[in-house]
Structure 1
Amino acid sequence: MRWAFITDIHANRQAFEAVLADARAQGATRYALLGDFVGYGPDPAWVVDQVMALVADGAIAVQGNHDEAVAHGSNPGMHPDARAVIDWTRAQLNEDQLRFLARLPLQAHGEPGHCLFVHANAFEPNGWEYIQGRADAVKSLHSSQARIQVCGHMHEPMLFHLSGTGKAGDFRPVAGVPMPLPAHRQWLAIPGSCGQPRDGNPAACYALLNPGKSDLDDARITFQRVAYDVEAAVAALRATDLPPLIAERLAARLTRGE
């Protein structure tokens, strides 16, 4: 059984379609979807419908901060562009879609072997604090007994680990290169954003986990980058009735991967 970890789709249909197609081609049979399905992008209804269908078929999904804001209303602390898109997104979704986002759990446990799935972190899932470095990762790992945590929220791929003696480390993964996850350590994986990467590379991010044969003792994770039709996503943004300046700023971010 191979798992695909997908997060921060941000209503980007073209990126999500490309990632799903790649994951299926790579043999993924289970999915964990780590939140922020909406916000920033032009196709929230389509993306939410796809997430709902995957969940109905057995996928795990958790709530992100943009999902919460769309379900319950934006807050003044958000960036003005993000808040404008949240308000616009609410008008694009029907009651069933809004209800689905509102009822998503903040975290979920699941196979394989003691995994924890959460959008932001395990120490305060509804506080939406970012894991910005090793200290934040250790704090999150200390907050759960799960051997593998998988988080979204940060839009750049990263992998952290913590040994039984308290020694921590991190890796900036190379796309397509499998990395072993030995059982004597805890691991925290951040797949990177599917719909809005922010590391200067516009290619969509996700990660694959091969659990191995013995309760994750020989598990391997592979961080993937998938080229998609960025220009089609940009055109879809420009075709919305979002304020033109906001749409242009969001389109520029997609093109530059930031």
Structure 2
Amino acid sequence: MKIALITDLHANAQAFSAVLEHAQANGATDYALLGDFVGYGGDPGWVLNKVMELVAAGAVAVRGNHDVAVTQGTAPNMREEARKAVEWTHARLDSRQLAFLSELPLTVSREDRLFVHANAYDPAGWDYIQGRIEAMRSLHATQARFTFCGHMHEPMLYHLSGTGKAGEFTPAADVTIPLLPNRQWLVIPGSCGQPRDGNPAACYALFDSISAELSFQRVPYDVEAAAASIRAAGLPERLALRLLQGE
């Protein structure tokens, strides 16, 4: 079974649509949606409706910090442009969509896999996995062989051996990586809706649960249209520029 791992959609309909089309063309039979479906982008309703449709068909979905902010209010430390996007988004979602966001779990466990937005050690604290220290803390917090998480907008792969040896890997696109059985793995697919590694192409990953093989993917999409949607919504110009620049 090939699982498409998609995270940090951020109301980017163009990126999400392109990723779904790419995943289907490459044999995806299931989907894991790792949170932050809203915020920043100009099409929260469309994105949420598509997420809800996939969940109804059996996809995994977990809650991200922007999803919480839209339903519960922004945190004091949220940046002004993000706060404006959250407030704008809340006013444009209907009660059904808001209820869906508020009822999403923080984590989902299936067999040897853990799905979470931020990390395994404190899912509601929203700490970022910025390097090996946080990654190892997350891996030590779970017995799952595979942890899949978002929150960080750049693709990354970490592993922990049975002897406690840690490693990290910045992946290249479309390269098959065997996830060896004597290790725990932490997979960060990178952001679908707002990549931040200088490449505006949407990120996601494909995981084969039978062969335990992983590939990170980059999907070009109509970034100009996504930026235009942000501008048409009256959201901060900086949010449109970040998409165009991949930051």
Give the letter aligned to residue 253 of structure 1.
Answer: R
Partner of 1:15: 15
Q: Distance in 2 between matches of 1:158 and 1:74?
A: 28
Q: Distance in 1 between matches of 2:71 and 2:26?
A: 33
Give the letter aligned to residue 14 of structure 2.
Answer: Q
TM-superposed CA distance for 1:224, in Å, is 0.1
- Mapping of residues 183-202 of structure 1, within 5 Å: 183-202=181-200
Q: Which runs of 5+ in 1 are unaligned?
A: 213-217
Partner of 1:215: none
Partner of 1:210: 208
Matched pairs, number: 247
CA RMSD of superposed structures (Å): 0.7
Q: Distance in 2 between matches of 1:13 and 1:161?
A: 32
Q: Distance in 2 between matches of 1:75 and 1:164?
A: 38
Match of 1:241 among 212, 216, 234: 234
Match of 1:251 among 233, 240, 243: 240
Q: TM-score, normalised by structure 1?
A: 0.95
TM-superposed CA distance for 1:115, in Å, is 0.3
Give the letter aligned to residue 234 of structure 1.
Answer: A
Give the letter aligned to residue 231 of structure 1.
Answer: E
Match of 1:123 among 112, 121, 124: 121
- Mapping of residues 157-196 of structure 1, within 5 Å: 157-196=155-194
Deviations along 1:43-88, one digit per CA (max 9) or x if unpaired, are 0011011000000000000000000000111122100110111000
User: Could you list the runs of 4 or more consecutive aligned residues of structure 1 that deviate by over 4 angstroms after TM superposition?
Assistant: none
Give the letter aligned to residue 151 of structure 2.
Answer: H
- Mapping of residues 98-137 of structure 1, within 5 Å: 98-110=98-110, 113-137=111-135
Give the letter aligned to residue 169 of structure 1.
Answer: G
SS in 2 for 1:32: strand
TM-superposed CA distance for 1:219, in Å, is 1.0
Deviations along 1:176-212, one digit per CA (max 9) or x if unpaired, are 0010001100000000000000000000000001123
Q: Distance in 2 between matches of 1:172 and 1:74?
A: 32
Give the letter aligned to residue 105 of structure 1.
Answer: P
TM-superposed CA distance for 1:41, in Å, is 0.2
TM-superposed CA distance for 1:229, in Å, is 0.2
TM-superposed CA distance for 1:231, in Å, is 0.6
Q: Which runs of 5+ in 2 are unaligned?
A: none
Partner of 1:31: 31
Partner of 2:224: 231
TM-superposed CA distance for 1:26, in Å, is 0.3
